[in-house]
């Protein structure tokens, strides 16, 4: 099973707005009031490479209209070097956004160093300023604020970081509903590897919470298995509830740093149990816009929507543009 790319890809490219002039990628998605909302990561300059989050909306899931201003920008100390890679769910009538928060330098990505002429002492300084990313949580408690998208920058409530200081975390999603009365997340603690953790490679873990802030019961759900996952795996969009189980789209990174998308099915009542996992990736870098960009050979899924029974997967391509590909919800 392979996803089918939309003909009008990329659906979003860098624009003339200064805060999003060099890259727009890795979009979260949620569906509200007949509208697909895309919350995407935007970068406006290579030197500091600070990310903000922009918003675009669509009725058909393919053609998007964007806002001229970011809807979420670094404000707090723990995110002062950027807010990246959002993932969103509507959970109990609240929109929750998990995102990567950088208190230390985030970029530019190493792949860009030669092109930007970064070497020697400058390279050493940039690398020494790098921080350890954490996951932060923000919410929009009153969904009717979405009727006035321009008000969003004032409406998000920040809940601070939900992963521990010093633990490298990027890929974290919440389930869109409680399971057995508990909130559930999937995350990918990069450094939980070795015999103490039961995995040699960064893997996808599950955890539970009563308040979305304190998480416990951490357990491995999936480890890298295939060649296209040889370096690590991490979650994509929040799991999608289907009759057969929670459909999880995730990314796998191969030894030569290609990012692909894969799919697995988790048990509805105990999502720590994998029911099935497709051996082949469902999307891999093929088109120019996926092969050539600021980081080459990347498809990075972060958003999903089900429109007229068809699955829409929104992804960042080559850390440069936003794209969409569609598939059959019934892939298992
Ligand atoms: C990951 C994250 C993503 C990025 C991907 C490819 O580690 O940094 O934001 O899209 O690498 O560069």
Report residue 329 CA to chain centroid gap. 20
Residue of 83, 290, 295 with the most ligand 1 atoms within 8 Å of its CB, for mutation: 295
Q: Tell the residue number behind the tokens 């994998």, with chain if given.
A: 274
Domain boundary assignment for the chain: 4-331
Instruction: Kindly state the DSSP code that residue 121 receives in the 8-state scheme.
Output: H
Strands 83-91 vs 157-161: parallel, antiparallel or unpaired: unpaired
Helix (H), strand (E) counts: the chain: 4, 21
Instruction: Kindly state the DSSP code that residue 25 receives in the 8-state scheme.
Output: E
Instruction: Give me the residues paired with residue 204 across strands.
Output: 222
H or E segment and range at residue 126: helix 120-128
Torsional sign, CA 53, 58, 64, 66: negative
Residue of 105, 257, 259 with the most ligand 1 atoms within 8 Å of its CB, for mutation: 259
CB of 291 closer than 8 Å to CB of 283: no
Ligand 1 atom closest to 298 (CA): 6
CB of 97 closer than 8 Å to CB of 83: no
pLDDT in tens, the chain (332 residues): 899 999 999 999 999 999 999 999 999 999 999 999 999 999 999 999 999 999 999 999 999 999 999 999 999 999 999 999 999 999 999 999 999 999 999 989 999 999 999 999 999 999 999 999 999 999 999 999 999 999 999 999 999 999 999 999 999 999 999 999 999 999 999 999 999 999 999 999 999 999 999 999 999 999 999 999 999 999 999 999 999 999 999 999 999 999 999 999 999 999 999 999 999 999 999 999 999 999 999 999 999 999 999 999 999 999 999 999 999 998 88
Instruction: Kindly state the DSSP code that residue 283 receives in the 8-state scheme.
Output: B
Q: How far apart are CA 294 and CA 253, in angstroms?
A: 17
Topology of domain 4-331 in CATH is Tachylectin-2; Chain A (2.115.10)
| Distance between Cα 103 and ligand 1 center (Å) | 17
Q: Is 154 in a helix, a strand, or coil? A: helix
Residues 6+ apart with CB under 8 A from 224: 201, 202, 203, 230, 231, 232, 233, 252
Q: Kindly report the protein residue whose alpha carbon is nearest to atom 12 of ligand 1.
A: 295
């Amino acid at each position: 099973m392979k996803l089918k790319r939309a003909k009008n890809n990329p659906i979003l490219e860098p624009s003339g707005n200064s805060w999003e002039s060099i890259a727009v990628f890795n979009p979260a998605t949620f569906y509200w009031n007949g509208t697909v909302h895309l919350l995407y990561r935007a970068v406006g300059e290579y030197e500091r490479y600070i990310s903000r989050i922009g918003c675009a909306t669509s009725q058909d899931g393919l053609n998007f209209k964007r806002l001229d201003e970011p809807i979420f920008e670094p404000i707090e100390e723990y995110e002062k070097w950027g807010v990246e890679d959002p993932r969103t769910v509507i959970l109990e009538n609240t929109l929750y956004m998990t995102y990567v928060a950088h208190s230390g330098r985030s970029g530019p990505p190493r792949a860009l160093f030669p092109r930007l002429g970064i070497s020697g002492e400058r390279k050493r300084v940039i690398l020494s300023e790098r921080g350890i990313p954490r996951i932060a949580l923000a919410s929009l408690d009153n969904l009717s604020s979405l009727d006035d998208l321009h008000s969003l920058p004032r409406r998000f409530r920040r809940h601070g970081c939900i992963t521990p200081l010093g633990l490298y975390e990027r890929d974290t999603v919440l389930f869109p509903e409680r399971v057995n009365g508990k909130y559930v997340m999937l995350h990918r603690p990069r450094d939980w590897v070795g015999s103490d953790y039961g995995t040699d490679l960064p893997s996808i873990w599950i955890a539970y919470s009563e308040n979305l802030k304190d998480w416990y019961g951490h357990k491995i759900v999936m480890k890298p298995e295939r060649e296209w996952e040889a370096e690590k795996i991490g979650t994509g969009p929040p799991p999608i509830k289907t009759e057969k189980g929670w459909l999880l789209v995730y990314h796998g990174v191969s030894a030569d740093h290609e990012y692909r998308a894969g799919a697995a099915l988790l048990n509805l009542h105990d999502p720590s149990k994998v029911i099935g996992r497709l051996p082949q990736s469902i999307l891999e870098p093929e088109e120019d816009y996926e092969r050539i960009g600021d980081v080459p050979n990347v498809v990075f899924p972060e958003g999903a929507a089900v429109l007229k029974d068809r699955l829409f997967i929104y992804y960042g391509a080559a850390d440069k543009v936003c794209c969409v590909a569609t598939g059959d919800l019934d892939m298992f």
